[in-house]
Structure 1
Amino acid sequence: MAEIAALRASIAACRICRDQPLGGEQGRLPHEPRPVAVLSDTARILIAGQAPGLRVHETGLPFNDASGDRLRDWLQVSREQFYDPALFAIVPMGFCFPGYDANGSDLPPRRECAPHWRAKVMKAMPQVELVLAVGQYAQAWHLGGMREKSMTATVMAWRRCIAPEAAPAVLPLPHPSWRNTGWLKRNPWFAAELLPELRKRVKTLIG
C-alpha cells in the first residue's frame, strides 16, 4: 500500500516531458503535464493503453470518452467496475496528453515516459495476472520479441501471446478508438474469437 501511494505521488509530480529541451527529439510538452494513471495493489488486471487524449487530460479520468465506452463493452463491465482500482489498474505507456500532430491526430506517447516509469510500475504491482496491451506501443513494451510486425498480426497471434506460461499473461488488443471501426469490420474474428476469451478471463479475475 505504501509503495503504491509513494509511486502514485511521484507520477503525479512528474514533469520530465515538460522540461525536455526544445531541441530534443519531441520538444517540450505543449501544455502543463497532468499525468493520468490508476495504480493498484489489488487489481489482477492491468489495462495498458497508449497515452491520454484531450478529454482524459481535461478530466483526469482514463478512457473517459467514446473509446472507453467501446473498451468497457469489450470487457462487459460497468463504469463503476471499470473505475474501481480494486478491480482494474489503468496505466498508459505515456501518462500525459502528448498534443496533436499537423493533421490534428493525437501524437504518440512521449518517449521519456515508459523508460523512466514502466519497470517501476510493474514491480509495484506483482499481483497483476493479465495485461491488456491496447495498441502498438503497449504491445511493443509488454510483448517484446513476441510482437509481430504489425498491430493486426500481433492481435491475430493473441493465443500465443496469452500462453499460460507467461507471467503475467498479455492479451493484445487494437485501440478502441472510432478510427478503428473499419478495422473491426474487416476483422470479424476479433469479435467472434478474441472477445469471448477476453470476457471470460475478465469475469474470472474480477470475481
Structure 2
Amino acid sequence: MTHSYSRMPFEELVARVRRCRICEAHLPLEPRPVVQVSQSARLLVVGQAPGRRVHDTGLPFNDPSGDRLREWMGVDRDTFYDDQQLAILPMGFCYPGTGKSGDLPPRPECAPAWRDLLLERLEGVQLTLVIGQYAHAWHLPGPKASVTERVKRWREVWPEVVPLPHPSPRNNLWLRRNPWFEEEVIPKLRQRVRDILRQ
C-alpha cells in the first residue's frame, strides 16, 4: 500500500489525505483532515492537531495560536496561507476532541499512515518549525526531553529546524518564565523566515 502511494502523483496523494477516515471511529466529529501543502513550499510548519475552530473553518492555525505563531515568524496571513511558500502538516490531521485540560493529543494512526509519504515529496523545504511535544518527538529524534529542554537546545538543529513551544494562550505562563525564548530565538527565526521568503 505504502509503495503504491509513494509512486502516486503528488496531487492525488494529497487528495487521498483529504479523504482519509482511518481514525473516524475515535473522533468526536466527522473526519476533516486539515493540511496545507504544495511541492514548492520552502517553509514547513509542524503543529499538533487542529482545534475545534480550525476544524470548523478548514484553515490551519486560524485561531489565537496562529496569530501568535505568525507574530513569531514575522509574516502576515496572506504569506502564511500561501501554500506555494508554506506547508502546514500537523502530527494529526483531524480534530481529536477535547479533554479535561484542553484538546486531546493527535490521533496515533495519522502520522504513520501519511507523514513520511508527504515529507519525502517536500524537497524544497529549507526550514521546519516543530511545535509542541508530539511534533518534537517525531521530528527531533534522540533521548526523550521536555519541550523546554528541546527549545533551549535550538542551536543544535539550526538553521534547518526550529523547535518551538506551542503558541497557544495556555502557554503564556511558560513564555513569562522563559523570557530568553522571545529574546534569543524569535529574532533569529524572523530573520531566517525573511531570508527564505526573499529567494
- If the TM-score is normalised by the length of the shorter chain, which range does it land in? over 0.9
Matched residue SS, 2:103? coil
- The one-letter code matched in structure 2 to 1:125 is L
2:196 to 177, 202, 205: 205
Q: Does 2:13 match 1:7?
A: yes
TM-score (norm. length: structure 1): 0.89
The answer to whether the Cα contact below 8 Å between 1:72 and 1:78 also exists between their aligned partners in 2 is: yes
1:119 to 103, 116, 119: 116
Supply the distance in 1 between the matched residues of 2:184 and 2:102 (Cα, whole angstroms): 30
Matched residue SS, 1:171? strand
2:155 to 159, 165, 185: 159
Q: Which residue of 1 aligns with 2:3?
A: none
Q: Which residue of 2 aligns with 1:170?
A: 161
Q: Does 2:65 match 1:74?
A: no
Supply the distance in 1 between the matched residues of 2:74 and 2:183 (Cα, whole angstroms): 15
Q: Which residue of 1 aligns with 2:45?
A: 47
- Deviation sequence 1:10-43 (CA, Å, 0-9, x none): 1111000014xxxxxxxx2121100000111111
Q: Which residue of 1 aligns with 2:5?
A: none
Q: Which residue of 1 aligns with 2:133?
A: 136
Deviation (angstroms), 1:148? 5.0
Moved over 6 A (4+): none
- Deviation sequence 1:115-164 (CA, Å, 0-9, x none): 1111001111111111100111111111111x6510000000000122x6
RMSD of aligned residue pairs (Cα, Å): 1.3
Supply the distance in 1 between the matched residues of 2:64 and 2:27 (Cα, whole angstroms): 25
Deviation (angstroms), 1:4? 2.6
Matched residue SS, 1:62? coil
Number of residue pairs matched? 191
2:22 to 4, 8, 16: 16
Identity %, equivalent residues = 54
TM-score (norm. length: structure 2): 0.92
Unpaired segments of 5 or more residues in structure 1? 20-27
The answer to whether the Cα contact below 8 Å between 1:44 and 1:128 also exists between their aligned partners in 2 is: yes
Q: Which residue of 2 aligns with 1:91?
A: 89
Q: Which residue of 1 aligns with 2:107?
A: 110
